[in-house]
Amino acid sequence: MSRIRSHRLGLLVLVLVVLVAACGGGDDEVDTGTGAGDATEVPEHPEGSTMAEIQEAGTITVGTKFDQRLFGQTNPRTGEVEGFDVEIAKLIVEAIGPDVEIEFVETPSAIRETAIQEGTVQMVVATYTINDARKEKIDFAGPYYVAGQDIMVPTGNPLDIGGLDDLNGKRVCSVSGSTPLQNVRTNAPGAEVTEFDVYTKCADAMRDGRVDAVTTDNVILLGLVEQYGAEVFEVVGDPFTTEPYGIGIPKGDDQFRTFINDRLEEIYANGEWTEAFKRTVGAVTDEIPEPPPVDRY
């Protein structure tokens, strides 16, 4: 009997030890005041900060794409928008407050800065390249991913397009207000350019034979290949630009930017970034990249 009792006592002690370890913070948990902390707890934010305001309101508007497979695309079955950008937004917002609801707002490339400046959205996570021209109007946290511009053609590559130079003299489609569009106009001035507001319209135009090539970030093109079929489109050549994706926020809100950057570092370290990547972009690649270092400019 006594042996059984001591066994039980041993078990009880073990359970208690496990419980204490699970509840208590580790020695390495330092509250910096701006850190996101454990997303399941209700965090305390500095008074008057954007995070405190959002927590108080219980809701946030987030701009994203609604037609970009892998990053932000509406699932017709559920009506919910899905993808890596959506996952990143959710991971950030859950650190502002676990009960904060996100209202996703469609923000095609050309309206992203305006949507932030006018307050239509409080944050944009939308395959949004960080660059100096945009930084004059808004600020960026991140980057949280690095893409590169590439070219998609009809499968079989009938016009033998291999790179940016080959776009001269061809009918090329990209999206208004995007960096790839600007790059084609500058570096392949002989291209006959068609612009739409979203990339699926470019893909439709190429499927119907109205354009010869579509150019934008490699991962967006891979999403289109997945969506339309590898027998319809293929991506050619290697990426020829660097497109670091940032989270757009209103200019000058350094506290909010620091909070998001801290949270990004947290999800890099705890594996949630990698899991989010695998669940989304992982559908088309086995290569799981390392998250890029955030730029606290």
Residue ranges in contact with ligand GLU by CB under 6 A: 109, 126-129, 175, 178-180, 216-217, 220, 243
Q: Which is nearer to ligand GLU, 95 or 191 (CB)?
A: 191
Rg (CA), the chain: 23
Closest CB 234 distance from ligand GLU, rounded Å: 19
Closest CB 181 distance from ligand GLU, rounded Å: 8
Strand, coil or helix: 59: strand
158 prior amide bond cis, ω within 30: no
Closest CB 213 distance from ligand GLU, rounded Å: 15
Q: Which residues contact 38 (CB under 8 A, 6 or more apart)?
A: none
Q: Which is nearer to ligand GLU, 54 or 175 (CB)?
A: 175
Q: Do the Cβ atoms of 50 and 123 come closer than 8 Å?
A: no
Q: Do the Cβ atoms of 168 and 188 come closer than 8 Å?
A: yes
The alpha helices in the chain, defined as continuous H runs, are: 2-23, 50-57, 84-96, 112-117, 132-135, 179-187, 199-207, 218-228, 254-269, 272-279
Q: Which is nearer to ligand GLU, 55 or 218 (CB)?
A: 218
How far apart (Å, rounded) are the C-alpha atoms in residues 63 and 53?
18
Closest CB 185 distance from ligand GLU, rounded Å: 13
Q: Which is nearer to ligand GLU, 127 or 261 (CB)?
A: 127
Strand partners, 184: none
Cβ-closest position to ligand GLU: 178
How far apart (Å, rounded) are the C-alpha atoms in residues 96 and 37?
9
Closest CB 96 distance from ligand GLU, rounded Å: 24
The sheet carrying 233-236 orders its strands as: 192-196, 171-175, 213-217, 149-154, 233-236
Q: Which element (helix H / strand E) includes 217?
A: strand 213-217
Closest CB 128 distance from ligand GLU, rounded Å: 5
Q: Which is nearer to ligand GLU, 106 or 243 (CB)?
A: 243
Q: Which is nearer to ligand GLU, 50 or 64 (CB)?
A: 64
Handedness of CA 242, 248, 253, 255 (dihedral sign): negative
Closest CB 249 distance from ligand GLU, rounded Å: 15
Q: Which is nearer to ligand GLU, 97 or 108 (CB)?
A: 108
What does the chain come to in residues? Answer: 297
